A and B are shown apart, each in its own frame.
Chain A
Amino acid sequence: MNDIGLALRQVAYEHRAFWRNPAAAFFTFAFPLLFMVIFNVIFGGSGGNPGQRAADFFTPSIIVFAVITATFTNIAMTVTAARERGILKRVRGSPLPPWAYLAGRIGQAVSIALLLVVIVAAFGAIFYGVEVPWGRMPALLLTLAVAAASFCALGLALTAFIPNEDAAPAVVNAVILPLLFISDVFIRIDGMEGWLPTVSNLFPVRHFADAMMTIYDPRTAGAAFSPDHLVVIAAWGLLGLALAVWRFRWEPRR
């Protein structure tokens, strides 16, 4: 089997193991939908003009949340667990190329992220009448690809700063939850004054959210590409990749 074949085989095995844990799989999918329903109830759901309703905000924003959870959070937690359980060390002693192992993890994470995008988009279209931006597929797919790749790289980089498996949820949440709150994902901060929007503009989450918002907004003209946002996301992705290459560890810390 060639190396690409080995990487794809890893994806298949990762998927098999993932679906064998039904509780984890169920909540991976239920979680974003639950948030979507709650936010829509709190903030008014489908009332108002198209483009300005709460659901018009929360459909793309929950897509962003789902993609970040499925890539960044998932990779940071599962790769840390694999490291602490000695799985990474075992792989390192086998002929499997290390990148093929990580490609397997990333491939599985990205495929779950894509499935979530489809589910959230369908959920928004069916229950809240938020139209799927079919005419902007190139921009949508490009944004998703850049964001998924970048957040996977950042998730890998973060593992280097997580000392052990038990600390993983705390560290990951401490990094990502504040960003989700200040980055147009859980709360609309577009138009807010002061230092908070300035801070959130430094980080990739808001740029991802705003790029998705632009694609989903029916008032946007044209193909809805957001090169300015994508450049920031990609820059963070490259930083994550550099950190991962520099600091990534294959051996358990304890």
Chain B
Amino acid sequence: MSPDPAIEIRGLRKSYGSLEAVRDVDLSIAAGEVFALLGPNGAGKTTAVEICEGHRRRDGGEVRVLGFDPEAGGRAFRERIGIVLQSTGVDPYLTVRETIDLYAGYYPHPRATDEVLELTGLTDVARRRVHQLSGGQKRRVDLAVGLAGNPELLFLDEPTTGFDPAARRQAWETVRGLRGLGTTILLTTHYLEEAQALADRLAIIAGGRIVATGTPDTLGARGDGASVIRFALPAGTEAPSLPGLARAADGSAFELATADPTRTLHALTGWAVERGIALDRLEVSRPSLEDAYLALTNGEGGS
């Protein structure tokens, strides 16, 4: 990890009245990284991100974003970030191109408008007025405005909520393109597959706390950490004596959780081959990010 993280958060706290929206959050996001904050609705994602953007004041803790305290960063700070909020509007009577030009003009080193249009797939509707666009196209205008200033760091708060699958894929391509250009991205999402598809690293947040941090792969492997081996036996066959073996919930099969699937599988298949028993429906499954997510968020699961 780079010695100078783009975002460094220590002990962040924020309450709304008696509701503790963010409790003791620590995060470090490296420059050039795509980091996803994944969690169910109301978990504190937006609050945490809006504190990093400078939109909200924190109650406690340390936050450095590009070396700035976002509460006091002012214009020099805002010139280097791009923000795509969950729901924002632009003037409905300006065209897409005019809207991007307008916002680009606020920044010292904006991205060329044609490039922004290209990146967001809006080239074909550049001359349309915003009120004539579809919902998905409007959301892309939000993204385009966030990119207009050529930010080093881009905040994407639920960038694809409400998108159809094709539009989501396209938005993902845009994010990957930006990553390729070296932009650091902090995105929030309650879509697991979005975090999995885009993030270099992610944190799962629930009830205002970070409950796990890692890469999509390592997070999948944690939780109880075990792979599960499932198989069925022909009727009347006595089960092998393997530690942890149990009847599956439906009764017809056996399940065996193991931290060492290679060895366990070897023991199991060795036992079966020796006795000439066919292991019906044999499968080994690795716990997915989804399993980890559901376990960690107590099944509050995303919508």
**Cross-chain contact B145 with A96 (CB below 8 angstroms):** no
Q: In the assembly, what is the distance between CA of A9 and CA of B105, in Å?
A: 9
**Cross-chain contact B102 with A95 (CB below 8 angstroms):** no
The residues of A that contact B106 with a CB separation of less than 8 Å are 6, 94-96
**Cross-chain contact A95 with B87 (CB below 8 angstroms):** no
B211 interface contact, C-beta 8 A: no
Q: In the assembly, what is the distance between CA of A248 and CA of B83, in Å?
A: 22
A189 interface contact, C-beta 8 A: no
Taken residue by residue from 65 to 88, chain B's Cβ proximity to chain A (1 for < 8 Å, 0 otherwise) reads as: 000000000010011010101011
Nearest Cβ in chain A — how far from B146, in angstroms?
9
In the complex formed, the residue of A with least CB distance to B102 is A13
**Cross-chain contact A95 with B149 (CB below 8 angstroms):** yes
Q: In the assembly, what is the distance between CA of A40 and CA of B57, in Å?
A: 56
| B contact residues, range | 20 to 34
Taken residue by residue from 18 to 34, chain A's Cβ proximity to chain B (1 for < 8 Å, 0 otherwise) reads as: 10110000000000000
In the complex formed, the residue of B with least CB distance to A86 is B88
Question: How many residues from A make CB contacts under 8 Å with B?
Answer: 22
- Of A6, A16, A86, A93, the contact of B105 (CB 8 Å cutoff): A6
A97 interface contact, C-beta 8 A: yes
The residues of B that contact A85 with a CB separation of less than 8 Å are 88-89
| Given contact pairs A6-B105, A20-B129, A97-B75, A90 touches B145 in the complex (Cβ within 8 A) | yes
**Cross-chain contact A94 with B91 (CB below 8 angstroms):** no
B169 interface contact, C-beta 8 A: no
Taken residue by residue from 81 to 108, chain B's Cβ proximity to chain A (1 for < 8 Å, 0 otherwise) reads as: 1010101111111100010001101111
A87 interface contact, C-beta 8 A: yes
Nearest Cβ in chain A — how far from B86, in angstroms?
9
In the complex formed, the residue of B with least CB distance to A252 is B87
**Cross-chain contact A87 with B91 (CB below 8 angstroms):** yes
User: Taking each of B53, B105, B149, which has the highest tally of chain A beta carbons within 10 Å of its own beta carbon?
Assistant: B105
Q: In the assembly, what is the distance between CA of A82 and CA of B92, in Å?
A: 11
**Cross-chain contact A95 with B94 (CB below 8 angstroms):** no
**Cross-chain contact A21 with B107 (CB below 8 angstroms):** no
Q: In the assembly, what is the distance between CA of A131 and CA of B94, in Å?
A: 40
**Cross-chain contact A93 with B93 (CB below 8 angstroms):** no
Taken residue by residue from 212 to 254, chain A's Cβ proximity to chain B (1 for < 8 Å, 0 otherwise) reads as: 0000000000000000000000000000000000000001000
The residues of A that contact B53 with a CB separation of less than 8 Å are 93
The residues of B that contact A13 with a CB separation of less than 8 Å are 91, 94, 98, 102
- Of B89, B93, B103, B108, the contact of A94 (CB 8 Å cutoff): B103
A89 interface contact, C-beta 8 A: yes
A42 interface contact, C-beta 8 A: no
Nearest Cβ in chain A — how far from B15, in angstroms?
18
**Cross-chain contact A21 with B103 (CB below 8 angstroms):** no
**Cross-chain contact A93 with B91 (CB below 8 angstroms):** no
Nearest Cβ in chain A — how far from B106, in angstroms?
4
B55 interface contact, C-beta 8 A: yes
Interface members, chain A 78-113 (any B CB < 8 Å): 82, 85-87, 89-90, 92-97
Q: In the assembly, what is the distance between CA of A95 and CA of B217, in Å?
A: 38
| Given contact pairs A93-B78, A95-B107, A96-B106, A87 touches B90 in the complex (Cβ within 8 A) | yes
B54 interface contact, C-beta 8 A: yes
Nearest Cβ in chain A — how far from B50, in angstroms?
9
User: Taking each of B79, B106, B149, which has the highest tally of chain A beta carbons within 10 Å of its own beta carbon?
Assistant: B106
**Cross-chain contact B89 with A87 (CB below 8 angstroms):** yes
Residue ranges of A at the interface with B (Cβ–Cβ < 8 Å): 1, 6, 9, 13, 16-18, 20-21, 82, 85-87, 89-90, 92-97, 251
The 10 closest A-B pairs by CB, nearest first: A85-B89, A86-B88, A20-B93, A17-B93, A93-B83, A96-B106, A95-B79, A95-B78, A90-B88, A17-B91
What are 16 contact pairs spanning A and B, CB under 8 A? A1-B105, A17-B91, A21-B93, A87-B88, A87-B90, A89-B55, A89-B85, A89-B88, A90-B83, A90-B88, A93-B54, A93-B85, A94-B78, A94-B106, A95-B78, A251-B55
Residue ranges of B at the interface with A (Cβ–Cβ < 8 Å): 53-55, 75, 78-79, 81, 83, 85, 87-94, 98, 102-103, 105-108, 129, 145, 149
